[in-house]
A and B are shown apart, each in its own frame.
Chain A
Amino acid sequence: MKCEQVQEKLSEYLDGHLDRDASGLIESHLASCPHCQAEVRALAEAKRMVAGLPAIEPPPGFSQRVMSRVREEAERPTLVRRLFFPMRNKIPIHALALLLVGGIAVYLYQTRQPVQPVATKSVPAAPELMAKQEQNAPAAPQEKTESFAPSPMEKKLKENTMKDTGRTAEKSGKMEGGAGGIKMATPSPAKVPADYKLSVTTRGQTRRIGQRDGGKIYGTP
């Protein structure tokens, strides 16, 4: 056995990890090789010196300090768990959040609802009504003359319609009175029947209302 091969195995030899045959080979080499003897002695010395390091005591109260932190740790999960962990506790939180969001959504929808339908309906209706207005325009002067005597039935209808128109105008006036441009929005119901031009001269939904009524009731078929 060569020195190199022996020296490779010296740690295992020292630690007792070689089988009897391998150990025997090492020993017979060592017996005749002072160089390898010195090597194994030095390695054994290194091992012995580390093994001879005294055991040091941990700081006093070490385990108590560890345990107090461990106890803290043991408490903490229950707190966290209470808020986030088990499903049975998580669901109410989710449900509450959902209700809250839902509630806000409904509230917002309801407060805006009265404005929205009027605005949305008036926009698509406008061009159509404009067309109707043009169509009816030539006939309008004749219609408007007082000489045209409405039948009792028509008269009643007219009165009702006027009331409706007034009411609607009043309503939209309330809503849009603040907005610029719709100056006519506050006529009294009594004034409306006297001034049919209202249906033509006003803008937005009020004109539409007047126009529709006019078209239906006074327009030529």
Chain B
Amino acid sequence: MDHEEKNDGEWVRRVQGGETEAFEVLVRRHEKSIFNLLYRWLGDYDEAAETAQEVFLSAYRSIRNFRGDSKFSTWLYRIAVNHAKNRQKGLGASRRRMTPLESADPDGEGGPVARLPDPGPDPVQEAERAETHERVQKWLGSLNADEALLILLHDLQDVGYEEMAQILNIPLGTVKSRLHRARLALKAKLAPYFNSLRTKNEM
């Protein structure tokens, strides 16, 4: 990770020096994490793809402003968060974030599940797993957007507390308390599901 960060700096400097093509290395390195964060946060595949494209374009435009005070990924996450927030505002997103997977039945076409690689050898188990993922996505969408973001950054993207504080420009203490509050909220959504699973298993 450290090595890659050093490497990022190298490619950033090249782009800053006018080497446009060097930017592709940065895109390829970070497209997956940025796209996945946006996809999980916005809850819509196409929306995420479009936003991710805007994020990289915006990063390219302002790459001269990147001074290397933080990691490139931190800087990129910050751009992504800002773009996603604008998009949420523009689309009345609290509703949008909740809906996309609501209607999707586990084996429906076109949902994100359809874009996953082929299920493993046990289709039943895979289907169950996919259903669980959908539920998690739905619960995340029903959380407060800021709380969902902290959960996604930390638990899905492995972003540390300090880096989250930098990305969101909030104090470390706020990161801690907000993340905990977010987990409690998510836990409350999970509880009925697990209780039903437990009773199902016991039967």
Contacts and interface: CB of A to CB of B under 8 A. Distances in A.
Interface residues on A, range: 20 to 34
A57 B31 CA distance: 9
A179 interface: no
A71 B136 CA distance: 38
Contacts of A95: none
A89 B49 CA distance: 40
Nearest to B154: A15
Interface stretch (A44-52, A122-130, A195-203, A210-218): A44-52
A145 B21 CA distance: 104
Interface stretch (B55-63, B74-82, B89-97): B55-63
A11 B184 CA distance: 9
Contact of A63 (B20, B28, B40, B187): B28
Contact of B186 (A8, A50, A63): A50
A27 to B, nearest CB: 18
Interface residues of B, number: 44
A12 B177 CA distance: 9
B36 interface: yes
B156 A50 contact: yes
A59 B36 CA distance: 11
B183 A69 contact: no
B61 A50 contact: no
Interface in A39-81: 42-43, 45-47, 49-59, 62-63, 65-67, 69-71, 73-74
Contacts of A45: 187, 190, 194
Interface string B110-131: 0010011000000000000000
Contacts of B180: 8, 10-12
A75 to B, nearest CB: 9
B183 A46 contact: yes
B198 to A, nearest CB: 12
Contacts of A57: 32, 115
A46 B140 CA distance: 10
A69 B60 CA distance: 10
B35 interface: yes
B16 interface: no
Contact of A74 (B20, B27, B56, B132): B20
Contacts of A74: 20
Nearest to B152: A50
B53 interface: yes
B24 A67 contact: yes
A17 interface: yes
A74 B63 CA distance: 12
Contacts of B137: 53
Interface in B176-199: 176, 179-180, 183-184, 186-187, 190-191, 194
Nearest to A8: B180
Which of A43, A46, A63 lies at the interface centre, i.e. has the most chain B CB atoms within 10 A of its CB? A46
A151 to B, nearest CB: 94
Interface in A152-187: none
B161 interface: yes
Contacts of B60: 70, 73
16 contacts: A11-B176, A15-B161, A17-B161, A17-B176, A46-B187, A50-B136, A54-B116, A55-B36, A56-B45, A57-B32, A58-B35, A59-B45, A63-B31, A70-B56, A70-B60, A74-B20
Given A47-B183, A63-B24, A63-B31, 14 more contacts: A10-B180, A11-B176, A11-B180, A43-B184, A50-B151, A53-B137, A54-B116, A56-B39, A56-B112, A58-B52, A62-B53, A70-B23, A70-B57, A73-B57
Interface of B: 20-21, 23-24, 27-28, 31-32, 35-36, 39-40, 45, 49, 52-53, 56-57, 60-61, 112, 115-116, 132-133, 136-137, 140, 151-152, 154-156, 161, 176, 179-180, 183-184, 186-187, 190-191, 194
